[in-house]
Amino acid sequence: MTVNVVVAHSDPSARDELAAPLRESGYDVAEAADYEAALAACHQLVPDVALVSKGIESPAGGTLLDELKADPEVFSIAVVLVAPEEIRVAQARNLLDRGAEDVLVEPVNAAEVLARVRSAHRTKTLVEELVGQGRRLETMLHEDALTGLFNRRYVLTRLAGLISGARRHGRPLSVAMIDVDHFKQINDAHGHDAGDAVLVAITSALRDRLRAEDELGRLGGEEFLALLPDTPARAAAAVSEDLRQSVEEVRAHSGGQELSATVSVGWASWDGDEDADRLLKRADRALYEAKDAGRNAVRAAEQGSASLRPRT
């Protein structure tokens, strides 16, 4: 993998001393003689490392280090500063505290230039790997592996947040609980791979019928929850019917088979006072009323308290 380096120094001979050992070692080097050229090179190339003379400053007195570390587009560049021999420990510490990866003191030798730049690049790579692992872990914590939707824990956390926002701003909020009809029969007759294909196809259909501000999660198994912010009862009824119809049109394919499915939907609009648990209980009761009505149906929740119907 090619390592890209911007070398910025106002003295041509000093700049050559910095750039030469890097080029000899196979690094891709771009040179800059002043602040404007160095900044432009960093934005254009976004190098792995910027080897910059401490004397490179803007006309207004700003430093390239501060400019790079304040800009999210180039923040990740590892900056190695080349400082004069008389630099004090406190000054070097200050540069490191402001984001410099390393401080190289003049006069420099070729071996030290190569070692410091290689070390800075290695550190940058390790940091990026750790950040990537953290992001992947965060995704695993809130994402359902099969469908890519929010998992149960996360979607319920989001619902609690939406209720808090709706209460604070006096906005409507609705939810729709969606359950795939006779899903066990699909698994038993066609296998779990076919069942997974059906769930993925249904997920796509549901997403296509929801707005960007709506949120969809998988509660588990064949059950989904749609969160509908700024959605009053009349609109929630229309959305729920639309979701039912969208699934009715789905055709999933697995093992050369074409499979279809339907869903039952129970929806509820927040009453302006209840917590997430009570709202979900009302939607769950409505869902089972839709099941009792013959499935492939939509039912609205009644206002007031409700208890979960035992699952059979």
Residues marked active site are found at 222
Q: Token pair 């698994």 is at which residue?
A: 187
Residues 14 and 53 sit within 8 Å (Cβ to Cβ): yes
CB crowding 75-109: b at 16 or more within 10 Å, else e? eebbbbbbbeeeeeeeebeebeeeebbbbbebebe
CA distances from 195 to 187, 199, 200 (A): 5, 6, 9
Main-chain dihedrals φ then ψ at residue 210, nearest 5 degrees: -105, 155
Phi/psi for 65 (5° steps) reads: -60, -50
The SS3 of residue 162 is: helix
How far CA 238 is from CA of 205, 261, 262, 265, in Å, comes to 16, 20, 17, 12
Residue linked to tokens 């066609």: 190
Inter-CA distances, 262 with 77, 175, 181, 250, 294, Å: 52, 19, 6, 8, 11
Q: Which amino acid is at 192?
A: H
Residue with tokens 């196809």: 201
The identity of residue 26, as a single letter, is G
Cα end-to-end span (Å), the chain: 58
Are the beta carbons of 205 and 265 closer than 8 angstroms?
no
Instruction: For 253, list phi and psi in degrees, rounded to 5.
Output: -125, 130
d(Cα 159, Cα 175) in Å, to the nearest integer?
A: 9
